A and B are shown apart, each in its own frame.
Chain A
Amino acid sequence: MRSARYLVAFLASFAILLAACSGAQQPSGGGASPSTSVKATPGGTMTFALEDQPINMDPLLSNAFIDRNIHYQIYDSLVRIDSSGKIIPWLATSWDFSSDGKAVTFHLRTDVKYADGETFDAASVKWNIDRYRTTTGSQRSGELASVDSVDVVDASTVRFNLKSVFAPLLANLVDRSGMMLSRKSVEAGGTDFTRKPSKAGSGPFVLTEFVQNDHMTLEKNPSYWLKDKDGSQLPYLDKVTVKPITDGTVRLTNVRTGDAQIMNNIPGKDVASLKTDSTLVYQQKEAYQFNSMIPNEAAGYVFADHRYVKAVSMTIDRQQILDTIAFGVGAVGYGTIAPSHFAFDPTFKPYAKADPDGAKALIAQIGAPLQFELLIVSGDPVQLQEAQLIKAQLEKAGITMDITQLQFAQILDLQNKHTFKGMTLIGWSGRIDPDGNTYDWVYTGRPNNAESYSNKQVDQLLDHSRATTDQEQRKSDFQKAQQIFVVDDPAAVWFGFGVSQLLYTPKLKGMDIYPDRLVRFATAWLQK
């Protein structure tokens, strides 16, 4: 029975592979700019206004979200996601699980070379994965903790032996843990590999210039392995200049004036006018990112009684927060599983209507009024407005919330030590697999479980979701767990999900938007 399932999985991946070899390689039309029927013109230079300065070009050490915007242009990973968030073959053309689920065999592309001329093969995969797993200080070791060893079966086949079945492994291999680099270039780069241009990747572009706080230059990789449906070489663009501009208004001005052709992370206040602006193209898609209020539930703190968490969750008006603070850009949410996740349940709306009277009754039942401190990041006017709105909403239930502004570093510190007094207003950039949005946040003793939450049933369900590769079973586990950690025994207050955004000039074609909020330029081209 089980092997039949794996056969189905294998056939499904084969079908996806076929799709990848045909459909996915087509330059896809970007939202409002129907470009599918127009033939792409190669050449040209484009400037991308990015929200911050990328820091680390070594996927082993990188831990800032922003870095991944560059990684995705210069490195390929074993698997990728398509624009709907589904995992698709990439450097690995297919994979199959052993009957006990404790080994995964990947079949690799044989036509891939790194930009430095080295060949991508099974030995290279083993070297990369072992490097990520075993290097001291590796930021990837946790994501690959389930891997016990890697065997080279033949030049184009590699087997991962797992310590136990670990369902989120493939999702982890989509990102930095699955990125393949040339050993020669990495070793030649030494300590400076993190910040100097190199030809270590096999991606559509090669990083040729990296001037901190100024710009990065990505030049076309002439030997990129991917071609479009007409057999034309990808990428189309000759060069992409990436400029880090932290101020949203200034970033927008750069796109308006033509100094930049594309930007992401658009301020909510500008979205409504941009949608109707015919001189620009705006695209938006639901992302994996969530917004939350994290309580300290350790013994001796007010939220040790989880009913207080529930009272807060019942009182806040999520729609009003979304409309007022984010100008309607995003989605109302109640838990950690986002609309783009396979386990999302659209009917799960436990606090659809704010219920201050219900919260009042609950607090009366507990016996003592609720007063707590909310920590927010100083110098962020939007967060301050959000906190003030929440404060006003909570007053309706007789809950007093004091707002304290601290530096982000201080809040993280207090969270890690579990010594903040009330709640923090800290969200999460989100992960492709619901496990990445959930496990480390609510499982007993995990690093991001700042709330010190512990619920045996939740732990069991989440462990179970990791130990099976049956998607339906996992979905059921996540939804059951979410019911507990959001409603029955609340761990935190989740109130919304973010969106991926892109804004660009109509001359730019072939841009697709992904739920992970990262850009891909392989199929982008400029209309002459």
Chain B
Amino acid sequence: MGQYILRRLLLMIPVAFLVSVVVFVLIHLSPGDPVAIFAGGEVQDPVVIAAVRQQYGLDQPLPAQYVIWLEHALQGDFGRSLRTRQPVLEAITERLPKTLELGGAALLLSIVIALVVGTIAAVRRNSVVDLVATGVTIAGVSLPNFYLGIVLILVFGLVFRVFPPGGYSDFATDPFENLKRLVLPAITLASASTALNLRQVRSSLLDVLSQEYLRTARAKGLRERTIVMRHAWKNALIPVVTIFGLQVGAILEGAIITETIFFWPGVGRLAVDSINGRDYPVVQGIVLLSALSYMASTLVVDVLYAWLDPRISYRSRSA
């Protein structure tokens, strides 16, 4: 297993390299000059534009720009933001904990709800819980984040005034305030993935529950709770874990919108600003980070498989 993980980790290097090349080419091919965009439509003296381009190395041919970037990146220097002059690594590491907090809360919320409600919906098929869960699921998938976010802000922020309408408060300074501000964005971010996860848990469990070994278990006189928790769950969870793994990536994508609505100072918002501003070094850094996190989450999922199902082994690949 250790060897398998090591091999997978090593494989990340060429993938990360390819991703960096593709992103570099794509963002530079997309029309729009960062120097002109920074001006936001304000008058720009062509001489000034040329000077700024030269200062940032944007006047060099594309391959040369990439080689310079790679050279620095290999030494841990991902450059500075063209817009704010903040070092890219600092810009990302400063915001990453905030995105992880929001994403983690959303993922936790999504998994807990999906497992609990999904299981009840499967065990009590066509019951009120099942019907309500199905209804909420459809709403969750159908409502786009930007809409749900604003509705939540208006209802819970303005009408009932239970939660603040967005913003971030440092956990170390005021933990309670931090959690209060986390609730609405976490629900928004979790909405779509909860729906998917819940459906997956329900259908996967329904599938397992109808299998013969469970009929045998029932015939043995086991309690329904033991049947579901001990015998059905573990087998039903394999496809669910795959979906959960993919949701990590989806949640990172969702953070882009959610963070903008709730002015949550995370990586998602940084991504939006940087893409709109053609802030090449920052976009490059963020995409690389999200590619690595995708790869890491699929690796975790694969390892989890082996733990959940002893039949899966990564040692005997040739067998």
B39, B47, B83, B263 — which one has the most chain A CB atoms within 10 A of its CB? B263
Q: Beta-carbon contacts of A255-267 to B below 8 Å, as 1s and 0s?
A: 0110100000000
Q: What string of 1s and 0s marks CB contacts (under 8 Å) between A425-436 and chain B?
A: 010110000000
Give the shortest distance, in Å, between A47 (CB) and chain B (any CB): 9
Knowing A250-B153, A254-B166 are in contact, say whether A65-B42 is a contact too (CB < 8 A).
yes
Chain A positions within 8 Å of B263 at CB level: 213-214, 243-246, 250
Known: A246-B263, A253-B157. A409 touches B37 (CB 8 A): yes
Does A214 lie within 8 Å of B265, measured CB to CB?
Answer: yes
Contacting residues, chain B, for A412 (C-beta < 8 A): 32-33, 36-37, 41
Which A residues lie within 8 Å of B276 (CB)? 407-409
Contact partners of A426 in chain B: CB under 8 A: 41
Say whether A23 faces chain B, with CB atoms less than 8 Å apart.
no
Residues on the B chain within 8 Å of A56, using CB? 84-85
Interface residue? B260 (CB, 8 A): yes
CB distance from B91 to the nearest CB of A (A): 7
Mark out the residues of chain B between 73 and 113 whose CB falls within 8 Å of any chain A CB in the assembled complex: 80, 83-86, 91, 94-95
User: Which among A138, A194, A247, A410 is the interface contact of B84 at CB below 8 angstroms?
Assistant: A194
* Residue A53 is within 8 A (CB to CB) of chain B in the complex: yes
Shortest CB–CB separation between residue A378 and chain B, in angstroms?
Answer: 11
CB of B153 to closest CB in A, whole Å: 6
Closest residue of A by beta carbon distance from B272: A246
Binds A, one of B15-23, B48-56, B209-217, B227-235: B48-56
Please list the 3 inter-chain residue pairs (A to B) with the smallest Cβ-Cβ separation, ordered nearest first: A409-B32, A214-B265, A213-B265
Of A139, A214, A247, A413, the most chain B CB neighbours within 10 A belong to A214
| B153 lies within 8 A of A447 (CB) | no
Min C-beta distance of A161 to chain B, whole Å: 21
Cβ-defined contact, B45 with A409, below 8 A: no
Query: Could you tell me if B154 and A409 are in contact, using CB atoms closer than 8 angstroms?
Result: no
Q: Which residues of B contact A (CB under 8 A)?
A: 30-33, 36-48, 51-52, 55, 80, 83-86, 91, 94-95, 150, 153-154, 157-158, 161, 164-168, 260-263, 265-266, 269-270, 273, 276, 278
Most buried by B among A192, A194, A257: A257
25 A–B contacts from the bound complex (CB under 8 Å): A56-B85, A64-B39, A137-B55, A138-B48, A141-B47, A212-B265, A212-B270, A213-B266, A214-B168, A243-B167, A243-B263, A244-B263, A246-B260, A250-B262, A254-B167, A257-B164, A259-B164, A407-B31, A409-B30, A409-B32, A409-B33, A409-B276, A412-B36, A413-B33, A446-B43
Cβ 8 A contact of B153, one of A139, A244, A253, A410: A253
- Please tell me if the beta carbons of A63 and B33 are within 8 angstroms of each other in the complex: no
B40 adjacent to A65 (CB under 8 Å): yes
Q: Given the interface contacts A63-B39, A139-B48, A408-B37, does A257 sit within 8 Å of B260 by beta carbon?
A: no
Residues in A neighbouring B80, C-beta threshold 8 A: 191
Contact pick for B38, options A63, A195, A253, CB 8 Å: A63
Distance from B21 Cβ to chain A, minimum over Cβ atoms (Å):
22
Q: Decide if A64 touches B45 in the complex (CB within 8 Å).
A: no
Contact flag A247-B261 (CB < 8 Å), given A407-B31, A409-B278, A413-B32: yes
The answer to whether B85 touches A191 (Cβ under 8 A) is yes
Shortest B275–chain A CB gap in Å is 9
CB neighbours (8 Å) of B32 from chain A are: 407-410, 412-413
From known contacts A246-B260, A428-B41, infer whether A259 and B31 are also in contact, taking CB-CB under 8 Å: no
Most chain A CB neighbours (cut-off 10 Å) among B55, B153, B167: B167
- Is A208 positioned at the interface, with any CB of B under 8 Å from its CB? no
A55 touching B260, Cβ below 8 Å: no
A211 contacts B37, C-beta separation under 8 Å: no
Whether A142 and B260, one on each chain, are in contact in the complex, defined by CB atoms closer than 8 angstroms, is no
- Tell me which residues across on chain A come within 8 A of B83, comparing CB atoms: 55
Known: A53-B273, A259-B164, A413-B33. A211 touches B45 (CB 8 A): no
Closest-by-CB residue of A relative to B36 is A412
Q: Which residues of A contact B44 (CB under 8 A)?
A: 63, 447-448
Q: Is the CB of B91 within 8 A of A247?
A: no
Minimum CB–CB distance from A252 to chain B (whole Å) comes to 9
Residues of B within 8 A of A141 (CB): 45, 47-48
**Residue A84 at the chain B interface, CB threshold 8 Å:** no
Please tell me if the beta carbons of A64 and B38 are within 8 angstroms of each other in the complex.
yes
- Chain A residues within 8 Å of B30, by CB: 407, 409
* Contact, CB under 8 Å: A409 / B150: no
CA A194 to CA B157, docked complex, whole Å: 35
Query: Within the assembled complex, what's the spacing in Å between the Cα atoms of A447 and B201?
Result: 60
Task: Report A273-306 CB contacts with B as 1/0, cut-off 8 Å.
Answer: 0000000000000000000000000000000000
Cβ of A138 to closest chain B Cβ, rounded Å: 7
Residues of A with C-beta under 8 A to B164:
257, 259
Given A63-B42, A212-B86, A448-B43, A253 contacting B168 (CB threshold 8 A): no
